[in-house]
């Protein structure tokens, strides 16, 4: 059952609503004016709020604005008199979930509440699924080699600060994983971790992706859109493959880092942002600077803390740990019992040329897990047959 707040200056309305809702098994609290309602809604978690539009001192629209400014995202159902339909529509535009008209109708009250609580349950389920996905992407960095221990020590030292970090390393080496570890170890961990793959976005669209755009800024801009800088405000923005970013976008990113402000494409309003930047690249940025492809001033802004992720070939001693980790992870995903890996098979895996780094190893382990006959160990012959090692 739901915990509900009623904000209304009329005692008979509050009493009628309370009786209806409590009869259905819900828990109800009351507020006789807008300010006390805001205080209750700010300090207590409610599943829904009924709020009258016409109240003295602070009306329902003011309540909506204040709750939004305080970050309260509880569904708010406005109560409207006969002459205030236009105001009710205005309230919906401001973010109210729905409105009901006086005199109050029992079926309308309960149906609106059901829709509101169903929506909240859907939001919570979405949050749980996102956390599950996030967890699958942010498992701990696996390894005990000297290179990995040094990275883990550096991550632990740097994570709690807002220092910008530039992560270098080959494709599939684990740069995103390091970025997520930095975010998860920071004071921003409860806020967004937003990733932008600069290599995957056409150069003519990268500015819109990063900074957003106003309606009509270009042909396909049919509505206003927030960019990744705004969406990541309060959290971490991960600029993956930053070496592939065009020079025009680099100039705007540099300005955003210098001033902590951005301007949407097609707009002139400056928007403050509070973002920690973590960047990554598989390119030699010093070489890109020499060739005129990357701004040196942006490089120095990004590389406050440089971190290099070694290739898998440079830390072969970690391969058995990684194989065990991926077997455990993937066996759960596929519902397959974890097979043993024979010592000769492990030697073959360790001696291979892992040009695709940890990502390639994961794919090979998944292939071996699926193709190894049930009840058998992963043997050297199976590795030779299915792994396609170099």
Residue environment code for 246-271, b if the CB has 16+ CB neighbours within 10 A, otherwise e: eeebbebbbebbeeeebbbbebeeeb
- Is residue 241 within 8 Å of residue 197, measured between CB atoms? yes
Same domain, 355 and 216: no
Q: What is the CATH number of the domain that holds 19?
A: 3.40.50.2300
Same domain, 167 and 295: yes
What pLDDT, on a 0 to 100 scale, did the predictor assign at position 125?
62
Backbone angles phi, psi at 295, to 5 degrees: -75, 130
- Using CB atoms within 10 A of its CB, is residue 206 exposed (0-12), middle (13-18) or buried (19+)? buried
The DSSP bridge pattern shows strands 261-263 and 270-272 to be: antiparallel
What pLDDT, on a 0 to 100 scale, did the predictor assign at position 256?
95
What pLDDT, on a 0 to 100 scale, did the predictor assign at position 105?
86
**What's the per-residue H, E or C state across 90-121?**
HHHHHCCCEEEECCCCHHHHHHHHHHHHHHHH
Q: How many other CB atoms are found less than 10 A from the CB of residue 327?
A: 20
Domain span at residue 365 reads 312-386
Same domain, 338 and 378: yes
* Maximum C-alpha span of the chain: 83
User: Which of 61, 94, 129 is the C-terminal boundary of a domain?
Assistant: 129
User: Which of 111, 129, 147 is the C-terminal boundary of a domain?
Assistant: 129
Closest CA to 54 of 79, 90, 89: 79
User: Which of 259, 276, 308 is the C-terminal boundary of a domain?
Assistant: 308
Same domain, 97 and 11: yes
Same domain, 212 and 330: no
- Is residue 35 within 8 Å of residue 59, measured between CB atoms? no
Same domain, 255 and 363: no
Residues with pLDDT less than 70, the chain: 82-85, 120-121, 123-139
Return the CA Rg of the chain.
Answer: 27
Q: How crowded is the C-beta side of 268, counted as CA atoms within 13 Å?
A: 0
Residues whose CB falls within 8 Å of the CB of residue 370, separated by 6 or more in sequence, listed in order: 334, 336
DSSP 199: T
Closest CA to 2 of 112, 131, 125: 112
The domain tally of the chain equals: 3
The SS3 call for residue 294 is coil
Closest CA to 361 of 325, 337, 336: 325
Same domain, 94 and 238: no
Same domain, 190 and 319: no
Which contacts (CB < 8 Å, 24+ apart) does range 146-155 have?
A: 147/310, 147/314, 147/315, 148/310, 148/315, 148/318, 151/178, 151/307, 151/309, 154/305, 154/307, 155/181, 155/182, 155/185, 155/307
Same domain, 157 and 301: yes
- Is residue 198 within 8 Å of residue 309, measured between CB atoms? no
- Using CB atoms within 10 A of its CB, is residue 286 exposed (0-12), middle (13-18) or buried (19+)? exposed
Q: What is the CATH number of the domain that holds 288?
A: 3.40.50.300
Same domain, 123 and 152: no
Same domain, 280 and 331: no
What pLDDT, on a 0 to 100 scale, did the predictor assign at position 304?
97
Same domain, 11 and 104: yes
Q: Which residue has the tokens 């975010």?
A: 183
What pLDDT, on a 0 to 100 scale, did the predictor assign at position 128?
56
Q: What is the CATH number of the domain that holds 379?
A: 1.10.8.60
């Amino acid at each position: 059952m739901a915990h509900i707040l009623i904000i209304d200056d009329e005692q008979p309305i509050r009493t009628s609503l309370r009786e209806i809702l409590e009869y259905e098994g819900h828990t109800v609290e009351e507020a006789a004016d807008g300010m006390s309602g805001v205080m209750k809604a700010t300090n207590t978690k409610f599943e829904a709020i009924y709020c009258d539009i016409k109240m003295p001192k602070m009306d329902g629209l003011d309540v909506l604005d204040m709750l939004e400014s305080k970050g309260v995202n509880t569904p708010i159902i406005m109560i409207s008199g006969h002459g205030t339909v236009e105001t009710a529509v205005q309230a919906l535009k401001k973010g109210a979930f729905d409105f009901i008209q006086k005199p109050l109708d029992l079926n309308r009250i309960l149906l609106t509440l059901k829709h509101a609580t169903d929506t909240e349950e859907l939001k919570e389920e979405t949050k749980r699924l996102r956390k599950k996905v996030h967890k699958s992407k942010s498992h701990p960095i696996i390894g005990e080699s000297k290179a990995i221990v040094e990275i883990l020590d550096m991550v632990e030292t740097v994570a709690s600060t807002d220092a910008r970090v530039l992560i270098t390393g080959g494709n599939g080496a684990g740069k995103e994983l390091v970025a997520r570890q930095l975010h998860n170890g920071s004071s921003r961990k409860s806020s967004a971790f937003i990733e932008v793959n600069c290599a995957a976005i056409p150069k003519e669209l990268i500015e819109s992706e990063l900074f957003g755009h106003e309606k009509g800024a270009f042909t396909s801009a049919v509505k206003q859109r927030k960019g990744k800088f705004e969406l990541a405000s309060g959290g971490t923005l991960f600029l993956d493959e930053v070496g592939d970013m065009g020079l025009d976008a680099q100039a705007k990113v540099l300005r955003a880092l210098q001033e902590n402000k951005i301007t949407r494409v097609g707009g002139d309003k400056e928007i403050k942002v509070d973002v920690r930047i973590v960047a990554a690249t598989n390119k030699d940025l010093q070489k890109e600077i020499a060739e005129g492809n990357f701004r040196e001033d942006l490089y120095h802004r990004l590389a406050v803390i440089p971190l290099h992720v070694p290739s898998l070939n440079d830390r072969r001693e970690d391969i058995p740990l990684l194989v065990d980790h991926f077997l455990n992870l993937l066996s759960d995903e596929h519902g397959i019992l974890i097979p043993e890996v024979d010592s000769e098979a492990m030697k073959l895996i360790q001696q291979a040329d892992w040009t695709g780094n940890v990502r390639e190893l994961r794919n090979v382990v998944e292939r071996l897990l699926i193709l190894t006959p049930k009840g058998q160990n992963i043997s050297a012959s199976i590795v030779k047959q299915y792994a396609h090692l170099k």
